[in-house]
Amino acid sequence: MQFQPDAIRKTSSVFLAVFLLNCLLVTIGCGGGGSSSPSAGAPSSITISPQSSTLAAGSAVQFVGTTNNNTGVSWQVNGVAGGSSGAGTISSAGLYNAPAVLPSGPVTVTAVSQVMPSLVASATLTITNTNANHDPLGTVASANAVSCSDVGADQGVAGSTCYQLVVSCPDVSQEDPVDLKVNAAAAPLGTILFTAGGGGKTWYDQEFTYGTDAVNQVIAGNFTAVQLLFESPVGYSSSLVPSGWLSGPGGVRKLSCRWATAAQWVHDNLLAANAAFCATGNSAGSSAMSYSITHYGMQSVFDFFEQTSGPPMARIDQGCVCNSAATQSPCGSVTQSSCYGVDGNMFIDPAYASSICSSAESTHSTTNQDTFIDDSILAPDANLVYPHLAMHFLFGGLDAGAAPTQAAQYLSAVSAKGAVTSSCVADAPHAILDAQDGANQVAADLLSMCHR
């Protein structure tokens, strides 16, 4: 047979085409492509840590969800993305915040694969009473809307809505009316509580020369402002001048339940979902805030505290007995006493309905020293660790009283979310917002640091 190269080339081309087609069909048939295979990057397993946890109501725990190929996870609480107010909420980073009130049923936190949502891992939570190891909160016997003019709140910040709570606390004989002045933002970034000094008997925006300026700046920054004012207790009968939340008998620590209970009511009834909850108070207003986290288990309810000119009740024994050496002021090299002086007569005596503090000041008697220590913010059983609460202390450079040195002891004793910071306004007195730059600094701190 004669050799024909063109025919051979044509035949070879046909065989090559058939061979390649068969290879392609084999590849498809063997699973090299097609819709039935898993998508690229899909994980095959997921874990959650911890797998169970017991925590107090109002506190928090960090969860970690991990897939075998390190793709992302999202979070649910009882099957709800991000959680709910009743069962607790969880952030995109896995930080679970338990509700302040015990849930009605079991709580399950679930990590869900973002690539393959059918792949999940769950953890069970046991929520316990937040006050199990703390002083008990009180109750709000009634809460009603009132005319702002009826509670003296028609001056200062305009456009307010007002409420009156009647607060009852354990081991405190009288109920106390607590007035609220609320300026609500449409879509607030957070809610901020404002408490004046002393027993909180005046509105924050009217107590200070530039109080209205500070509150208005916060409102303009899209925060809801809630001012607290404490009236004289119902049936108050002491011969001493009543002093708002510090009107006794009962003692400072038990009476601070009034502020904590009112704050909890605001949290439960006025705080927008997923918004920050913060507070600022001057002098004894700062003390009221501090008691809520050292003795009333509210350290996970709040996100940020701006403490100004206080708290002056860190060591009531030092303030009343007056037997401690002067210490360095937070605002400079001068030393200052932690003794209350006339403030003991004005604010501490009414809390006990007796001259218990002012008498000790004049005699240096230690007869009631144990009572003073147990009633202090820095009492032996105080909680001083706040992993979910940021704190800043602000002092006036002209404050020559006991508050700075008292507060410095508390500042140095606590640990909080991030570093516990402090600063001074050089030209500000004890009433920091009586200086314009003091008021501006308070507002700036709240606007920059009040967030979840």
The amino acid that residue 238 corresponds to is: S
> Which segments of 204-251 are extended strands (E)?
223-230
Cα–Cα dist 373/23, whole Å: 87
Rg of the chain on CA atoms, in Å? 31
452 residues of the chain, pLDDT tens digit each: 333 334 433 344 433 343 443 433 333 333 333 333 344 489 999 999 888 887 777 777 888 899 999 899 999 999 999 999 889 999 998 989 888 777 877 899 999 999 999 999 999 998 875 445 689 999 999 999 999 999 999 999 999 999 999 999 999 989 999 999 999 999 999 999 999 999 999 999 999 999 999 999 999 999 999 999 999 998 887 778 778 999 999 999 999 999 999 999 999 999 998 999 999 999 999 999 999 999 999 998 999 999 999 999 999 999 999 998 898 889 987 889 999 998 898 999 999 999 999 999 999 999 999 999 999 999 999 999 898 899 999 999 999 999 999 999 999 999 999 999 999 999 999 999 999 999 999 999 999 999 99
Q: What is the end-to-end Cα distance of the chain in Å, rounded?
A: 92
Predicted TM-score (pTM) of this structure: 0.73
Residue 224, beta-bridge partner list: 191
Q: How far is residue 339's CA from residue 323's CA, in Å, rounded to a whole number?
A: 8
Coil vs helix vs strand at 175: coil
How many Å apart are CA 139 and CA 268, to the nearest integer?
Answer: 13
- And the tokens for 98? 């338990």
- Rounded CA gap, 191 and 263, in Å? 11
The pLDDT of residue 132 is 55
b/e map of 302-326 (b: 16 or more CB within 10 Å)? bbbbbbbbbbbbbbbbbbbbbeeee
Residues 160/226, Cβ–Cβ less than 8 Å: no
For tokens 């660790």, the residue is 385
Assign 3-state DSSP to the chain and report helix, strand, coil percentages, each to 5: 30, 25, 45
Strand partners of residue 120:
112
Domains of the chain (ranges; CATH) run 46-128 (2.60.40.10), 139-449 (3.40.50.1820)
* β-pair partners for 65: 48
